[in-house]
Structure 1
Amino acid sequence: MLLCWAWIPLPLAADTLWLENGDRITGTVLRHTVSEWQVASDVAGIIHIDAAHVSRVEWSGAEMPVSDFLAEARERNRPEDHPFSSRGGLDVAVEYENSAVDTHEVDIALRQHVTQGVWRHRWRASYHREHRDNERRDNDWELAYSPERFVTRQRFWQGRVSSKRDWEEDISRRFALGLGPGYQLWNTEQSAFSLSALLTYNRFAYASQPEERFYSWALQWQFNRHFWQELFELYAAGRTGRAFSGATGFQFNAEIGVRYPLTEWMSLNMGVEADWVENSAEDLRDTLYHVGLGVNW
């Protein structure tokens, strides 16, 4: 009797596909999409079946019409229709050091994040200036905008346009325009992480030589994580890439930091920014450390 009861559940645990011509295929469904089914059969191995020929499917004894399954699959893959939400902030860091070398430094960063429907928009603007013994050592600003359009709940297309002006480095102006696919690995109230790969058009202007135009690939990332009942927020964002040809080879721009809320609208922020460029005219290696206050909305 035990042997009989052990054998009875086996056919019930199998999946059965009923075809339009009346045939049926029994096995384990490995993969199913809107256009194809893949079934592992003990007799014929892995079978690929055109979804147009499948009339209904029986999942381990529970029957479901194919039309219901397709509707359920499409619903799972549809991008989420988010309500309108907007958040942003302004971070300011000011440093004055009176020693053998008098240093005055100002760092300002403005950020804005807007979500509505299947669209997500990110804006960022920054300005940095440094004087040492009344001599200007750094003076630059940057603007960037990234729109994202979700095509499923996790996949999206991302664009990016950015412009940077630097009055002290030989690379005086940088403009970039990119487009490519992205993937949202997770997005919860506590944490979010997304990656995107962009094909980018670049235009560099120099203080000592003619401008350069080239194409490159770029990998971008966005990450944030709240800790200890949202008392701390760890954030990281950046991009890295390499040119297909031209004088400019490798580019890397990233920021990582921590925010601590002082009030509902004010926070203390500490961060590190890196801006590296390998170039025949100039190898740029800028690293900025800042501690300051932020206003959030």
Structure 2
Amino acid sequence: MLSRTLLCLAVFSASTPLLADTVWLKNGDKLSGKISLFDGGKLLIQTQYAGAVTIDWKQVKTLESDQELLVKQDAYTGEKAKSLTAADDGKVTLANGEAPKTVELASIQQILKPKPVVEDLVWKGNVGLALDYQRAEKDTDDYDIDFKTTARHGRWRHTGEGEYNREVQDEQVTTNNWRAEYALDRFLTDKWFWQGRLNYKRDYVEELSRQRVVGTGPGYQFWDDELGAFSLGSLLNRTDYEYSDGGKDNFYSVAMKWDYNRYL
């Protein structure tokens, strides 16, 4: 009986992850789990009893963790801490061997697990899929796929977008095209950035079969937080057209681009 009990306890201990991170809140509550990410004013902690829990950073009194974390006190540089140790209210201690460092929670902008190649890489994105299937006097099949993804590290931000559209009416293809776009931003300050952008569109139905746009110019990020983002950019573009009959055309243009997201 004793050996069976010890065996069961050993198996249970091996299969149960250790919850070594603790977050103390200003209202007296305490949460235990694994810190996944702090970004945009929100701390994400993975718990066994409630899954992923999001905490408002302003409600955190202090915290501790025995995992290696990258702590950034500005948008571009960070300090890799071997562990975090609880400190006085509104503070945390970054433990790095013989030189621990206590910092204000309000001064921390980001906490994340270091990545193998780019330590401070943060990625987010979404994919959309739509299908419209109608059977009437005119049969219509309409397919639409689109995606947008953003990755940021240090002063660099990468944005990729793409879409594919296809429509068939009475077995005749009326729409068949795809588009891809890539933008690279280099932040000069917390708000100002310089952008390079490449856009390519291929159409298999329309007379204008190929479009290529290459542009560059300055931009301004008004805000980018947990509730949304808003930025403006100006671009000097070179545009190249190719037509289905083999003809070509190109021209230069100046454009303004705005990007606004609001999370309800």
- How does the TM-score come out when normalised to structure 1? 0.49
- The answer for the alignment partner of 1:128 in structure 2 is 165
The offset of 1:110, in angstroms, is 2.0
Distance 2:227 2:209 in 1: 39
- The answer for the alignment partner of 1:97 in structure 2 is 134
Among candidates 195, 218, 230, match of residue 232 of structure 2: 195
Which residue type is aligned with residue 220 of structure 1?
Answer: K
- The answer for the alignment partner of 2:260 in structure 1 is 223
Deviations 1:237-277 (A, max 9, x none): xxxxxxxxxxxxxxxxxxxxxxxxxxxxxxxxxxxxxxxxx
Which residue type is aligned with residue 90 of structure 1?
Answer: V
1:111-122 matches, cutoff 5 A: 111-122=148-159
- The answer for the alignment partner of 2:200 in structure 1 is 163
Which residue type is aligned with residue 135 of structure 1?
Answer: Q
Which residue type is aligned with residue 126 of structure 1?
Answer: E
Structure 2 residue 117 is matched with structure 1 residue 80: no
The offset of 1:184, in angstroms, is 0.6
The offset of 1:209, in angstroms, is 5.9
Among candidates 231, 249, 256, match of residue 212 of structure 1: 249
Distance 1:192 1:90 in 2: 19
- The answer for the alignment partner of 2:38 in structure 1 is none
The offset of 1:208, in angstroms, is 3.7
Deviations 1:47-77 (A, max 9, x none): xxxxxxxxxxxxxxxxxxxxxxxxxxxxxxx
Aligned residues: 150
Distance 1:92 1:195 in 2: 28
Q: Which runs of 5+ in 2 are unaligned?
A: 1-73, 77-109, 111-119
Which residue type is aligned with residue 191 of structure 1?
Answer: G
Paired residue secondary structure (1:100): coil
The offset of 1:204, in angstroms, is 0.3
Which residue type is aligned with residue 195 of structure 1?
Answer: L
Which residue type is aligned with residue 227 of structure 2?
Answer: Q
Q: CA RMSD in A?
A: 1.6
**Deviation above 2 Å: which 4+ runs of structure 1?**
none
Distance 2:180 2:168 in 1: 22
Which residue type is aligned with residue 190 of structure 2?
Answer: R
Paired residue secondary structure (1:108): strand
Which residue type is aligned with residue 96 of structure 1?
Answer: Y
Paired residue secondary structure (2:247): coil
The offset of 1:186, in angstroms, is 1.5
Distance 1:171 1:218 in 2: 21
Distance 1:189 1:131 in 2: 40
Deviations 1:85-110 (A, max 9, x none): 10112211011001110000100112
Which residue type is aligned with residue 128 of structure 1?
Answer: N
- The answer for the alignment partner of 2:176 in structure 1 is 139
Among candidates 143, 157, 163, match of residue 106 of structure 1: 143
Distance 1:116 1:191 in 2: 19
Distance 1:209 1:220 in 2: 31
Distance 1:153 1:183 in 2: 9
Answer 1 or 2: which has greater strand percent.
1
- The answer for the alignment partner of 1:179 in structure 2 is 216
- The answer for the alignment partner of 2:185 in structure 1 is 148
Deviations 1:13-46 (A, max 9, x none): xxxxxxxxxxxxxxxxxxxxxxxxxxxxxxxxxx
Q: Which runs of 5+ in 1 are unaligned?
A: 1-78, 228-297
Identical positions, percent: 36
Distance 1:210 1:134 in 2: 29
